């Protein structure tokens, strides 16, 4: 962090490495983790409380198969594919401005850096948030916005599904939770349930 001078330390996360052709899990890690030896010979109430507490950030939760956090910048691969499916040419130029405003919200690139007109390939390379905010908004408007057309394509949602997101992997571990790919109805319901807080 340029402001504090400290390295960023994540408090939680997961990594799953899969073979792309077979779906076989090569490796999986979840953070925070715990020592499985804590269970050998029984576990004390104090130690169990530590493993299940909010303060310790729930180390028993295997975020690799049970977490439902947004994907972050890696999702730009899906977004770029959705944009191409929606008719945006991969090699056309798209404005990578330092920020993008929509309604009363302003979204910025990392450290508010802009790169000017760039291709989708460069938007992936530079991880340009504003290119993808703009494309997502354009597709939403093209599909009818708040009142979707009957033939709305919903390219971002359908492309994410076509990539296999939102589905269980079928791994031989208990309690796998399939990911959440929010569709229009889910987003509307979520907004209705939380609008007073915003």
Residue 64 backbone phi and psi in degrees, to 5: -65, -30
Both 97 and 149 in a single domain?
yes
pTM value? 0.81
Both 45 and 107 in a single domain?
no
Q: Given this model, what pLDDT does residue 20 score?
A: 85
Both 102 and 135 in a single domain?
yes
Q: Given this model, what pLDDT does residue 129 score?
A: 97
Both 120 and 78 in a single domain?
yes
Q: Is residue 189 a part of any domain in this protein?
A: no
Q: Is residue 131 a part of any domain in this protein?
A: yes
Question: To the nearest 10°, the Cα dihedral for 154, 110, 191, 179?
Answer: 60
Q: Given this model, what pLDDT does residue 22 score?
A: 86
Q: What is the CATH number of the domain that holds 119?
A: 3.40.710.10
Domain end residue (candidates: 33, 55, 70): 70
Q: At what angle do helices 155-162 and 76-85 cross, to 10 degrees?
A: 120
Q: Is residue 180 a part of any domain in this protein?
A: no
Residues of the chain with pLDDT below 70 are none
Q: Given this model, what pLDDT does residue 119 score?
A: 98
Both 84 and 127 in a single domain?
yes
Both 48 and 79 in a single domain?
no
- Tokens representing 28 are 């999986």
Q: Is residue 47 a part of any domain in this protein?
A: yes
Both 60 and 122 in a single domain?
no
Q: Is residue 172 a part of any domain in this protein?
A: no
Q: Is residue 7 a part of any domain in this protein?
A: no
Both 66 and 142 in a single domain?
no
Q: Total structural domains in the chain? A: 2
Q: Given this model, what pLDDT does residue 138 score?
A: 96
Both 54 and 108 in a single domain?
no
The predicted-structure confidence for 85-126, as pLDDT tens digits, reads as follows 999 999 999 999 999 999 899 999 988 899 999 999 999 999
Q: Is residue 135 a part of any domain in this protein?
A: yes
Cis peptide before 32 (omega within 30 of 0): yes
The predicted-structure confidence for 68-83, as pLDDT tens digits, reads as follows 888 889 999 999 999 9
Q: Given this model, what pLDDT does residue 5 score?
A: 83
Both 114 and 158 in a single domain?
yes
Both 60 and 76 in a single domain?
no
Both 47 and 110 in a single domain?
no
- 84: domain range? 72-162
Q: Is residue 124 a part of any domain in this protein?
A: yes
The Cα–Cα gap between 81 and 113 comes to: 23
């Amino acid at each position: 962090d340029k402001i504090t001078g400290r390295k960023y330390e994540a408090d939680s996360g997961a990594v799953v490495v899969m073979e792309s052709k077979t779906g076989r899990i090569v490796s999986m890690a979840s953070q925070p983790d715990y020592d499985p030896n804590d269970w050998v010979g029984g576990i004390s109430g104090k130690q169990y409380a530590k493993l299940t507490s909010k303060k310790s950030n729930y180390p028993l939760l295997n975020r690799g198969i049970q977490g439902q956090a947004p994907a972050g910048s890696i999702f730009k691969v899906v977004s770029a594919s959705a944009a191409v499916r929606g008719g945006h040419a991969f090699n056309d130029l798209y404005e990578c401005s330092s920020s993008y405003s929509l309604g009363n919200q302003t979204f910025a690139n990392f450290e508010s850096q802009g790169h000017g007109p760039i291709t989708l390939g460069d938007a992936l390379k530079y991880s340009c948030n504003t290119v993808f905010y703009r494309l997502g908004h354009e597709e939403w408007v093209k599909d009818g916005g708040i009142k979707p057309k009957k033939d709305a394509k919903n390219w971002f949602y359908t492309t994410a599904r076509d990539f296999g997101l939102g589905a269980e992997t079928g791994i031989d571990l208990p309690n796998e939770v399939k990911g959440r790919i929010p569709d229009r109805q889910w987003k509307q319901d979520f907004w209705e349930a939380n609008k007073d807080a915003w």
